[in-house]
Amino acid sequence: MVKSRCAAVMLLVFVWCGAVSAWGADVSAQLTRSRIGIDESVQLRVNIAGDSDAEPDFSVLNKDFDIVGQAESSTVQIVNSKVSRAHNWTLTLIPHRLGSITVPPICAGSSCSQPVKLVVVDQAPAGGASAPVMLEEEVSSHSVLVGQQVVYSVRLLVRQELVNASLSEIKPQGVETSVQRLGEDKRYTTTRNGWTYQVIERRYALFPQHSGTLHIPPLRFEGIVRNGMAIDPFLDPFGRSGQRIVRRTRPEDISVSAAPVDRDKQDWLPAQHVEISDSWRDQPPVLTVGEPATRTITITAVGLPAAQIADLPLVVPDGCKSYPDKTQRSDAVTEDGVVGTVVQKVALVPTSAGDITLPPLSLKWWDVGSNKWRTSKIPQLTLKVLPAQRQAAAASSAQTTAVTPPAPPSVVAPVTTPPGSGAEKKDVLPPSVAPDYTPAAGGGGSLWRWLALVGWLGWLVTALLCWRRIRRRVVTPPCAAVAVATEKPTAPGGTVKDVIALARAGEASATRSALERWARCEYPQAGQGALERLLLDADAALRTEIAALDRHLYAGGAGAAAAWDGNALAAALESWQAARRSDRNDKEEDLPDFYPLK
């Protein structure tokens, strides 16, 4: 009983001693200076006396300071058998702003320090124009319009070796602004007050999105200048023996005005210069029916990113089909800032011969240099379209036949000679009515016999085809028979199976050629325009895949070198053929076809 009471008393003593130790932990904080410049640093010393193992919370300092250095130490003292412990932290702080700043309490466990006041004042860089490190800024204009480019430049000038150098990023305030960095940093040398400086220049392009005041806060540079004691970076990689410096740029305020009102409600394009070019303007091509040709329209805007330039509406005249390619946008960096480029490509396929006129193109934009509206234009373009080769040959033959028709033979009564003249069995025409042409060798009757034979053979072939169709009761593609007669056995194409096989093999050019041959077999009356006739009958899926094939072959650019996947075209063609076969079977079951060869 006595032992248990002693154990309880000892436990209470230990608990009370721990509580006293926790209560006895004292947290204090003090600054090495109470007044500093904006480019200077200050040290905050935090001391925790007692046996507390709690860590201090320094995150409360991030609002107004940057912690650029931190050191920790601990001490243990024994005086007259009494043990005392203390933890010390030394923080190097750099303020974010000017004015009076309160260092908030630093807490460790349940104990906190008292707040401390710090005054931050503005000051010129040490050494002025002869300082070893200088930071300068420059803006292209302090008054701009919405969307107009503002070039912001920051230059770091150094004449001593630096380590652990860093420059903060630009963060515009007040107005929503698009920021684009202009290439890599430039490096060169310059002379200031007889001193030679190494210059590192960084440039940004700013595009304010609405009116107001665009505020650019100061950019801060931090680095360590090495002194004469530690020159070798290997001996002092962190620059601890050097001098830490901080430099800031001046804040900049830019007035952003609203865009002027335009009665035409055009897209707002503030730029230094805008130009539109047409690949067909200087050398207009001669087009051919059924053959695609690619037209390229390029828009170049100085001082404007390509993302702000809308596509031009490319109107296609009657007698022509268009297959536009995906618009390409890119930005380049020059001395004047951003240069946006928009490239529009469209493949045109004429459907009829003659002349076609492409309408003019125009783009209205605001000249920021002269503060005036300007319009960049491409005049209308008239192109000559030649007929397809087969159509041209047929037209030439028909024209020759119409100009020089053969003279019909004259019908006259024969003249019979008297008996005994030696010409009883000869019919002689009078010289005045004799024909002025010489009959062909072999007589005119042989020509009609050959024509009759050809016609008879044609009817025989027709009868055989009708008999085969009745026997098989399936739809045989007309191009199969034609391909056997006109194409070599080793040349693919002419049948829908060949087109599908080439498409699945990824042969873009061969697939296009086989598709044209098969279309001419399917629509022989259309001649060179057979593929266009096929596109009229095809469903939306097949038309889309044929247009994609044409863009791959004729649009040019980076996409032309990529592999072509024809599985989608093969699937669309098989689906359309199956739908046609189903429709024809339904019609044959309802009513026999009156024209079996149609």
* pLDDT, tens digit, 9 for 90 and up, residues 58-117: 888 888 888 878 888 887 777 666 767 788 889 888 888 888 999 999 888 788 888 999
Q: Which domain holds residue 509?
A: 463-590
> Of 101, 121, 141, which residue is a domain's last?
121
Same domain, 111 and 158: no
Give the per-residue pLDDT at 54: 76
Q: Which is higher by pLDDT, 589 or 320?
A: 320
Runs of H (alpha helix) within 383-475 = 389-403, 445-472
End of a domain among 386, 412, 435? 386
pLDDT of 412: 41
Residue 417 domain flag: no
CATH number at residue 245: 2.60.40
Q: Could you tell me the pLDDT band of residue 559, with boundaries at 50, 70 and 90?
A: low
For the full predicted model, state whether its pTM sits above 0.85.
Answer: no
Average pLDDT estimate for 118-133: 72
- Please give the pLDDT value at position 209: 92
Tell me what the mean pLDDT of segment 141-170 comes to: 91
Shared domain check, 90 and 155: no
Task: Look at strands 116-121 and 143-145 and give their pairing.
Answer: unpaired
Sole residue written with tokens 């001649």: 527
Interior/surface letters 140-177, b for 16+ CB within 10 angstroms, e for the rest: beeebbbbbbbbbebbbbbbebbbebebeebebeebeb
Residue 532 included in any domain: yes
pLDDT in tens, 507-554: 888 898 898 888 888 888 877 778 888 888 888 888 888 888 888 887
Task: Provide the mean pLDDT of the chain.
Answer: 77
Q: Give the residue-averaged pLDDT of 163-169.
A: 87
Query: Do 139 and 236 reside in the same domain of the chain?
Result: yes
| One domain for residues 242 and 143 | yes
Whether 113 and 133 map to the same domain: the answer is no
pLDDT of residue 472: 57
73 and 156, same domain (yes or no): no
Q: Is residue 517, in this structure, part of any structural domain at all?
A: yes
Whether 165 and 237 map to the same domain: the answer is: yes
Per-residue pLDDT band for 264 (boundaries 50, 70, 90) equals low
Q: Is the pLDDT of residue 5 over 70?
A: no
Look up residue 452 and give its amino acid.
Answer: A
Provide the residue count of the chain: 598
pLDDT for 254: 95
Residue 446: the pLDDT is 63
- Residue 468: pLDDT above 80? no
Within a domain: residue 133?
yes
Work out how many domains the chain is built from and give that number.
Answer: 4
Q: Are 153 and 91 in a shared domain?
A: no
Reported as a single tens digit per residue, the pLDDT across 339-374 is 999 999 999 999 889 999 999 999 999 999 999 999
Of residues 227 and 529, more confidence is placed in 529
In a domain, residue 454? The reply is no
Per-residue pLDDT tens over the stretch 234-262? 444 444 556 778 888 999 999 999 988 76
Q: What is the chain's percent helix, strand, coil content, to nearest 5?
A: 30, 35, 35
Please state the separation of Cα 93 from the chain's center in Å.
Answer: 45
Using a pLDDT cut of 70, give the percent of the chain over it: 72
pLDDT at 437: 42
Q: Flag whether 422 is in a domain.
A: no
Q: Please check whether residue 14 lies inside any domain of the structure.
A: no
User: Do 365 and 331 lie in a common domain?
Assistant: yes
- 557 in Cβ contact with 499 (< 8 Å): no
Residues 290 and 312 in one domain: yes
CB 525 within 8 A of CB 597: no
Based on the fold, state whether residues 571 and 554 are members of the same structural domain.
yes
471 with 572, same domain: the answer is yes
On whether the CB atoms of residues 32 and 42 are closer than 8 A, the answer is yes
What was the pLDDT predicted at 407? 47
Q: Is 242 part of a structural domain of the chain? A: yes
The answer to whether 362 touches 375, Cβ cutoff 8 Å, is: yes
Asked which of 371, 386, 401 is the last residue of a domain, the reply is 386
